[in-house]
Each structure stands twice: as C-alpha cells, then as structure tokens.
C-alpha cells in the first residue's frame, strides 16, 4: 500500500478487501458480465485533513490501462475521512476478454496527482471458459497455424515444383521406365532433350 | 519457402498464441510489459525451434512418400 505519511486507505471489491488479492495466484474471481461494487475508504493522519477528488480503477494489460473508471468529483473540500462507491463493469470488454488482470485502485487529489494506490488482481471467467471473443480468435488462429505446419512438407514441395524452370517441349515419346526417386528435390526434372 | 522455414514461422505465431491464450485462461499474468515481452520472446523462440524442426521432419517425410517425379527421357 502506497500513500503519504499518516494517510490510511482501504478498498473492498464486493466486500472483500483487495489486499488479499495482491498476487496473480490469489486473484479475486469475478464475473465480467456483472457489476462489481467497489468501496473506497480513506482517512487522513490524526488531526489533519485531506482533499481527495477522484477515486479511480484502472485495468492494466501489457503495462497500459485497458479500462479506466472514475468517481469524480468526490468532495469539494478537505475532510478528515471519506468514502466513495464505484460500481465497476468492464463495459465493452465483457464479451471480449477473460483471464487474469491487474487492477490499480488509486485516490487522486484535485491537482490530479496520486495520493494513494493499491494493485490487486482479478480473474475473470467467460461462460464455458472460452465464450469470449479473444479466446475464440486465438484458438482458431492456433488451429489454422497447426494445419499450416502439418502441411508444410506438401506446400514446400509444391512451391519448389512451381519454382522449377519449365522443361522444353518435346515430341511424343514412349513411356520410359521410372527412374529411382531421390530426396534431392532441388534438381530440375530431366527434360526431353534430343 | 522450405518446410523448415514454414514450420518456424508457424511456430512463432503459435508461440504468441500460446502466451495470449494462457493469459486468457489464467495461467500467465501479462500486466507488466517487461514480463509480458519476456514470455512472448521465449515462446516465439521455443516455437520457432520446435516447429521448425517439425516442419523439417514433415518435409523430408513428405518427399520420402512422394518423391519428385522425373520426366521420362525422350528417344528419337
């Protein structure tokens, strides 16, 4: 938990303290198709006040914020303690993504600088484990690539045949005995030179 | 394009797919860009090596089973 001296904050996700989900293996199981109730609570150091203007949740993927939700403005003045409720849903990402994601909860002052932040992890499941767009696309792409690799020998042989120079035309010739096959596919086929 | 390079390119794509799919199923955490790139690079290298070798084996196997046809020699 990062914050200024004496400042204490706590975030609960559907009444569960997010500090219990500080690692990917301890991620909170969530349903992307429903809304999560996120409660921010904070208090300034004893005898002081603090002005928190924005409570923010960011979903992080590849180091970038994939989704950002805010509760702002929260209050117009400095208070000794306060709270904010954010009903979080992934929005358009509901049917696109699943998996483990890092969420950053932060409290910002009116200048926009971060007073406190906490990272935690959520694990979202799609119906039947795969019914989100990205897993379906990835499974289809993987299947296609496996098919291409499985046919790589045939494709390479066909392309090698296309690249070979055409043999010069020759007159009618009687069928000859089949020559023994070799593995050297780089040599051009024997032409019917007179 | 040879069967080996064909397999290696397929292996690179499959390595990327493996990591992204692993994240979707909750096995990988791709939140931090450094660890995500690390996962992807390792998967691409391993995929290229494994599937490149597989492509080479499949190419040789195909040529053994379907030897290149040689045209008959013409007689005057």
> Is the model more confident about B70 or about A150?
A150
Give the residue numbers spanning the domain of B17.
3-65
Mutation to test the A interface, candidates B16, B70, B75, B76, most A Cβ within 10 Å: B70
Number of domains, chain B: 1
Q: Does A157 touch chain B (CB under 8 A)?
A: yes
Q: Is residue B51 part of a domain?
A: yes
Query: Which of A28, A70, A56, A100 is CA-nearest to residue B31?
Result: A100
Structure-token pair, residue A92: 């358009």
Class in CATH terms, A2-129: mainly beta
Q: Is residue B50 part of a domain?
A: yes
Global pTM value: 0.72
Q: Is residue B19 part of a domain?
A: yes
Q: What is the pLDDT of residues B26-37, one digit of tens each?
A: 888 898 899 999
Query: Which positions in chain A touch B35 (Cβ < 8 Å)?
Result: none
Nearest CA in chain A to B50: A149
On whether the CB atoms of residues A134 and A96 are closer than 8 A, the answer is: yes
Indicate whether this complex's ipTM tops 0.95: no
Q: What is the pLDDT of residues B1-28, one digit of tens each?
A: 788 888 999 999 999 999 999 998 888 8
Q: Is residue B71 part of a domain?
A: no
Residue A19 is predicted with a pLDDT of 92
Q: Is residue B41 part of a domain?
A: yes
Q: Is residue B12 part of a domain?
A: yes
Residue A52 is predicted with a pLDDT of 87
Query: Which positions in chain B touch A190 (Cβ < 8 Å)?
Result: 70-71, 73
């Amino acid at each position: 938990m990062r914050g200024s001296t004496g400042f204490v904050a706590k975030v609960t996700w559907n009444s569960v303290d997010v500090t219990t989900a500080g690692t990917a293996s301890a991620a909170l199981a969530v349903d992307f198709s429903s809304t999560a109730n996120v409660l921010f609570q904070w208090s300034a150091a004893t005898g002081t006040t603090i002005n928190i203007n924005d409570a923010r949740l960011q979903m992080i993927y590849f180091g970038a914020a994939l989704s950002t939700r805010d509760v702002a403005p929260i209050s117009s003045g400095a208070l000794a303690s306060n709270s904010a409720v954010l009903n979080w849903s992934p929005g358009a990402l509901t049917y696109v993504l699943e998996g483990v994601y890092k969420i950053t909860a932060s409290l910002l002052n009116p200048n926009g600088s971060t007073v406190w932040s906490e990272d935690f992890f959520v694990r979202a499941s799609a119906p039947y484990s795969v019914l989100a767009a990205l897993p379906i696309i990835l499974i289809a792409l993987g299947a296609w690539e496996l098919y291409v690799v499985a046919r790589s020998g045939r494709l390479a042989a066909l392309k090698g045949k296309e690249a070979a120079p055409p043999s010069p035309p020759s007159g009618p010739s009687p069928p000859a005995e089949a020559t023994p096959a070799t593995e050297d596919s780089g040599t051009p086929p024997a032409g019917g030179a007179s | 394009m040879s069967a080996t390079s064909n397999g290696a390119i397929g292996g690179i794509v499959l390595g990327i797919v493996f990591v992204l799919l692993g994240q979707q199923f909750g096995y990988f955490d791709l939140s931090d860009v450094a660890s995500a790139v690390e996962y992807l690079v390792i998967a691409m290298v391993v995929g290229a090596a494994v599937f490149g070798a597989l492509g080479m084996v499949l190419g040789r196997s195909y040529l053994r089973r379907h030897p290149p046809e040689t045209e008959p020699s013409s007689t005057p």
